[in-house]
Amino acid sequence: MTVHHLNQLLLLCSLVLLVAVAAVRVSSRSGLPSLLVYLGIGIAMGRDGVGAIPFTNAELTQVMGYAALVVILAEGGLGTKWKEISPALPAASSLALVGVAVSVGVTAAGAHYLCGLEWRQALIIGAVVSSTDAAAVFSVLRKVPLPARLKGVLEAESGFNDAPVVILVVALSTAGPVERWYTLPGVILLELAVGAAIGLAVGWLGSWGLRHVALPASGLYPIAVMAIAVTAYAAGALAHGSGFLAVYLAAMTLGNAKLPHWPATRGFAEGIGWIAQIGMFVLLGLLVTPHELGDDVLPALVIGLVLTMVARPLSVVVSLAPFRMPWQEQTLLSWAGLRGAVPIILATIPMVNGVDASHRIFNIVFILVAVYTLVQGPTLPWLARVLRLGEGPEAADLGIESAPLERLRGHLLSVVIPGGSRMHGVEINELRLPAGAAVTLVVREGKSFVPLPTTVLRRGDELLVVATDQVRDAAEKRLRAVGQGGKLAGWLGLGDGAGDGGGAHGTR
């Protein structure tokens, strides 16, 4: 590659990114899932489009897709709140293991008996499409105000179920018969255990280091967080564990560790996640050849119907039977089994391994994902309203950014009071921060002033709170409690970091 080629590549990539960013705005207004817009950009640039780019490298697509999925899982894990996901872990784990097994079996049976596919091809398709897509689920959950438990189940399931499905697809795509198939559940469980252990260990070590070592520039924190998450993936994969589960758990551990400069880190991760989604979908669009899809449209629609109307609901009912979830929640979970780029990426595995009719498998999966994403994504908010599962207005959480003051052995907390916060109308002295923490400055409507104890806080205010190392956690806990419950937060049972006498100090 010459410098001239590099210039052309940079121009093309930047134009694609700008078009994709503009497409997000269009898709959000029209309700059209953005992933379909990105796929359309790739198809338009491909062999059958105006760009006529002759791209046929399935192996490169698989490698780049894996890299993008690592970033997407990291971004999703960073935004997952432990208090929401912890009660949902048993149900989500059951969906990711038992539910996937049921879905694979039912979908494969439908592909074999209704569409005449051979059992190996049918099982591969069943495994490929049985995983819910993390990117699709995370993007939809930003728009649908679901109850915390239901949201936690969907987030955890989409983060967990990629790992067993990847192992299963790789095993089914191996040349020759699948020997000792009965050992597959044990292999899957072992790889998940190794990945989980490495992910939690790397996440804990990384968060401990970032909380105790002050970096010289705030911009280094987002880079360090993403590097730690990617390290978890690589370490898990090299240890013959599930790298995808490792990166998700490591990112979730980091996301709940109250790291310095957290809003900046979340914004950086979200931007990288968008780039990963755009690049992944455009590349997949380039790989597909539209004029070859005609013969596979009907099988894709039939298999998708079996998956959506039979396999997914049955897997939800079977895997959640011990948890006695209401039928309304099970109905929404059945319809929320969104597919996206992950199944299409997994469909490149049999292509790389030379499985018979692998191009047909890829085409069927591509059509299925495109059609049923168009059906399920826009209708999910409507179904949540019909089932009365949307949450009403609640107090908005505070945006708190922490910057370490290493030489002073303290922290500077920047607190933004959002529109729905119950901190509106509370006086400074009613915050009852622990001894060692104080509100030193208030920024209101572009003007800053040093507050008095009787200063009344308003929506939109930005507070600068200085706290010592010993009470930093307690001060943040108290601020969030007041934001959720107002001045009576302690009486309402919400977290009270100060106590009446100010003696309940958080330790590090």
Q: Sorting pLDDT into bands at 50, 70 and 90, what band is 56?
A: confident
How is residue 165 written in tokens?
């499905």
pLDDT tens per residue, range 442-468 = 998 888 899 898 899 988 888 888 888
Asked whether residue 59 carries a pLDDT value surpassing 50, the answer given is yes
The predicted pLDDT at position 60 comes to 87
Mean of pLDDT values over 86-105:
88
Query: Domain 31-48+73-175+185-386: which CATH class?
Result: mainly alpha
Q: How does DSSP classify residue 456?
A: B
The predicted pLDDT at position 492 comes to 43
Q: Give the start-to-end residue ranges of the domains of the chain.
A: 31-48+73-175+185-386, 399-488
Residue from 306, 258, 396 nearest 115 by CA: 306
The torsion defined by the Cα of 198, 199, 201 and 203, in degrees rounded to 10, comes to 150
Distance of alpha carbon 498 from alpha carbon 504, whole angstroms:
5
- What sign for the dihedral angle of Cα 426, 432, 434, 437? positive
pTM of the model: 0.75
Asked whether residue 34 carries a pLDDT value surpassing 80, the answer given is no
The predicted pLDDT at position 385 comes to 81
The predicted pLDDT at position 31 comes to 54
Give domain 399-488's CATH superfamily. Answer: Regulator of K+ conductance, C-terminal domain (3.30.70.1450)
Q: Which of 146-150, 385-389, 405-409, 443-447 has the lowest mean pLDDT?
A: 405-409
pLDDT tens per residue, range 332-386 = 888 887 777 788 888 888 888 888 888 899 999 989 988 888 888 778 778 888 8
Q: Sorting pLDDT into bands at 50, 70 and 90, what band is 491?
A: very low
Ramachandran category for residue 301: left, alpha or beta (phi over 0 → left; psi -120 to 50 → alpha): alpha
The predicted pLDDT at position 197 comes to 95
The predicted pLDDT at position 146 comes to 73
Asked whether residue 73 carries a pLDDT value surpassing 60, the answer given is yes
Mean of pLDDT values over 211-216:
78
The per-type count for the chain, helices as H runs and strands as E runs, is 21, 5
Residue from 94, 105, 109, 93 nearest 130 by CA: 105
The predicted pLDDT at position 206 comes to 93
Tell me the HSE value of 375 on the side-chain side, using a 13 A CA sphere: 14
What is the CA 335 to chain-centroid distance, rounded?
A: 18
Largest CA distance in the chain: 77
CA-based end-to-end distance of the chain: 52
CA distances from 404 to 433, 466, 498 (A): 19, 10, 21
Distance of alpha carbon 194 from alpha carbon 207, whole angstroms:
20
